[in-house]
Every structure is written in C-alpha cells, then in structure tokens.
Amino acid sequence: MRILNLLNNDIVNNYSKNEIVQMPPLALAWIGDAVFEVFVREKLIFEGGRNVKQLHRGAISFVKAEAQCRIVRELDEYFTDEEKAIIRRGRNVAPHTVPKNASITDYRYATGFEALIGYLYFMKEEERLAFIFNKAYEIIRNVKE
C-alpha cells in the first residue's frame, strides 16, 4: 500500500508517543479520515476501477459512518486495550454537527475508528494499519456482496 510508504518518509514528522496521545481526538480523527480515504481510493483503483463516478460510489460505501461503525464492532476482538481507549476517546467527543445520513451512534463509532487510524498513522504503525485496513476492506466488501 502506497499510503503506508509515507510512514517511512520524511514527510511524516516524528512525534513522541506522549504528543500523539495528547492530541485532541477530533484532530486524530481528521487525519485518520484522510488516511483511510486514500487507502480505500487506492484499493478501488487497483481493483480495476476507472470510472470516477463508480469509484466515488464505491469509496462512499467504505467511508460512511455506518460502514465504519460496522468495522469497529466486527474488529473489536482484534483491538488492543490501548486501541480501544483511543476509539473510546474519539467516540466520546460530542459532535459539533448532526450527521444527516447517519445515526449519532454510527457517527460516534466512525469518529472513534478514524481517531484510531490517525493515532496509528502518527505512531507509524505500518503493519497494524495494514492489518486493520485489510480487515475493514473485507468486512465492507462482504456486506456489499
């Protein structure tokens, strides 16, 4: 996965674990959202997607709150206690807006998932991100089929 190559590059700063843990959960979720989106887009393109409209629809099915909530719930047994704490921090942040196409519960779990992705990204946990990305992709792909 090319997105993970960024982790071994000078583009991503070397933050201390303490700095990363103290980041606001919504900041972690904000970067996590972007990282997960790039992963999904890359995966869809290399599966043979060429029509931008179809690629966009495909990406939405992976990044919408309902899908990310499903991912968190189905991967719960795989998360470490530390990862569960990051998810909980992200999930417990009161949303500034009410999502129009998602329940509050789904939206909060999605925020927790994105916070975890942001955390692992900043921690440069390449193998862990790859594991979670691939499991998440399988979960949503199976729902779509």
Residue 88, C-beta contacts closer than 8 angstroms, at least 6 positions apart: 112
Distances (CA, A) of 64 to 71, 76, 98: 11, 18, 14
Q: Which of 33, 76, 81, 106 is catalytic?
A: 33
> Contact, 90 vs 113, CB < 8 A?
yes
Active-site annotation holds for 33:
yes
Question: CA-CA distance, 106 to 115, in Å (whole number)?
Answer: 14
Q: Which residues are catalytic?
A: 33
